[in-house]
Amino acid sequence: MTAAITSVFNDGIFAEQFERYRHDPASVDETWRQYFRIAESLFGQGATTPSSAPASGATYDVAFLRKVAAAATLQQAIRSYGHYAVQLDPLGTPPPGAEDLSPEYWGLTEADLQAIPGAALGDDRFATAADAIARKRQVYAGRVGWEVWHLEVDEERDWFMRAFRDGVLTRDLTPDEKKDTLRRLNQVDGLERFIGRAYQGYKRFSVEGTDTLIPMLDEVIRESGRSGAHEIVIGMAHRGRLNVLTNVMGKPFESLFAEFEGRHDHVDGNATGDVKYHMGFVGSRDVDGKEVTLRLAPNPSHLEVVNPVIEGMVRALQRVHGRLGERDELAVVPVAIHGDAAFPGEGVVAETLNISHLNAYRTGGTIHIIVNNQVGFTTDPIDARSTHYASDLAKGFEIPVFHVNADDAQACITAVRLACAYRATFRKDVLIELVGYRRHGHNEGDEPMFTQPLMYKAIRKQKTTAQIYGERLIAEGHVSAEEIDKMKANWRAHLEAEWEVGQAYKP
């Protein structure tokens, strides 16, 4: 933190603009007019500063006005840079922070903020600026890192402002939603553990460490279906694919287990064991009584190559669902799941983003999710990219970005709700960066301690996402430890029954 700044404003310019405003309000920019109007209203409301007279003879406490302006600037800094203060790493690496998030940087004290009415910051819900600033920290530097102020369209920024202000899209989950999320996380973790026991030594490219991806996809399906979607098309690489195929797409577990034993659907005997990580699937999900078709595009391996493929699939399907040859962009929603090293590292990502708004290629917005394991194969982020976030490429294409901690299930679902609403409203891309880790290294045959010893020392101590969320719900009184144990036991019994069926399964 640098030394406190006693005055961040040019007093000469301030005085000049104020003098011009006193003689002719129209002679200054609207921003200055708004500022001085607020000042007049403050002094007219019995604040602890001199009362205002008509503009021609008004006397103002200039030092107080300077502090009001500093508080307003602090508020905007929290909106813009609050994401740097969000705890994103489940493994405990502290956020970098930003020096301009502190009152002292702007020459303010807590007493100054307490003396300024909340109305001075344009928010009369709060008695003081201190209350208003605290609320801004809760929203912008709390549990989700929002990067939306780089958007150039005023309407979009205003939309986000209203969404954060009214809190409908960022509301807490209901008790039933919390229980459903916990149940889902236990299913995700239970499947990975079951495969690990039943097929020891096999590669599965586990989703463990970013388990919340599955309930996030559930929420994408629900929210998109409620907004008019008939189909969801998903593109992804191998990490977490087995869990997506079964727990999201509905692929039979016995079919998956048979593949681990070398019996594949629609594949000749020369296929390698890797094929199960690249196969596609078509399933469906009921959303409020409406069937939503789910398509997972096959990906023959190379990570991001599937991105333009799903965009082409979606565009064609939108025409199928449209009337008289017109495309229905709400009817089919593309979801692209990326890796944190591949997103900035593979050119096909930028190429696909570049055509996202072109009339000949647009699909009405893609929901992007970066599954950030904080390591690319065996490369640390500091050696893999020149940007702070893996998602920074997206900002050049006017895409709002939300950063979430993969072990904060509720924050992840909040981010999805806002992403789906934004896509449905503006028909544009939106991106969620899901920050987690890989519990077993690049694949289950690796020994990650060789290349990331400090990270994996922390990972071996880290509770699972399901454990963390279960303890949270126990503390909140929504569920008991016994209920969680029963939840896990029932799911384990279900998988064991599916495995027994799988022994006789023939493609």
Pairing relation of β-strands 401-405 and 332-339? unpaired
pLDDT at residue 338, as a whole number: 97
Q: DSSP letter at 381?
A: G
Reported for 359-362, long-range contacts at CB under 8 A and 24+ positions apart, including other chains, are 361/311, 361/315, 362/315, 362/329, 362/427
Residue with tokens 């690319």: 376
pLDDT at residue 490, as a whole number: 97
pTM, entire model:
0.89
Question: Which one-letter amino acid corresponds to residue 41?
Answer: S
Cβ–Cβ under 8 Å, residues 329 and 360: no
Distance of alpha carbon 240 from alpha carbon 506, whole angstroms: 25
pLDDT at residue 5, as a whole number: 41
Q: Which is nearest to 104 in space by CA: 34, 200, 2, 175?
A: 2
pLDDT at residue 265, as a whole number: 62
3-state SS, one letter per residue, for 22-75: HHCHHHCCHHHHHHHHHHHHHHCCCCCCCCCCCHHHCCCCHHHHHHHHHHHHHH
The set of residues, in sequence order, having a beta carbon less than 8 Å from that of 210 and lying 6+ positions away, is 239, 240, 371, 372, 373, 406, 434, 436, 437
As given in the structure block, the two tokens for residue 64 are 């107080």
In order along its 507 residues, the chain shows pLDDT tens digits of 333 444 455 666 777 777 888 888 888 876 677 677 776 666 554 344 333 333 444 455 778 888 888 998 999 999 999 999 999 999 999 999 999 999 999 999 999 999 998 888 878 889 999 999 999 999 999 999 999 999 999 999 999 999 999 988 999 999 999 999 999 999 999 999 999 999 988 888 999 999 999 999 999 999 999 999 999 999 999 899 999 999 999 999 999 998 888 776 655 544 555 667 788 899 999 999 999 999 999 987 678 999 999 999 999 999 999 988 799 999 999 999 999 999 999 999 999 999 999 999 999 999 999 999 999 988 889 889 999 999 999 999 999 999 999 999 999 999 999 999 999 999 999 999 999 999 998 888 888 999 999 999 999 999 999 999 999 999 999 999 999 999 999 999 999 999 998 888 777
As given in the structure block, the two tokens for residue 233 are 């098309």
Residue with tokens 């333009």: 308
Distance of CA 249 to the CA centre of its chain: 22
pLDDT at residue 299, as a whole number: 86
Distance of CA 266 to the CA centre of its chain: 37
Distance of alpha carbon 459 from alpha carbon 481, whole angstroms: 24
Instruction: For residue 475, give the 3-state DSSP assignment.
Output: helix
pLDDT at residue 64, as a whole number: 84
Q: Which residues of 134-149 are buried (b: 16+ CB within 10 A; e: fewer)?
A: ebbeebbbbbbbbbbe
The set of residues, in sequence order, having a beta carbon less than 8 Å from that of 459 and lying 6+ positions away, is 91, 209, 437, 439
Question: Which one-letter amino acid corresponds to residue 409?
Answer: A
Distance of alpha carbon 492 from alpha carbon 132, whole angstroms: 48
Distance of alpha carbon 47 from alpha carbon 41, whole angstroms: 9
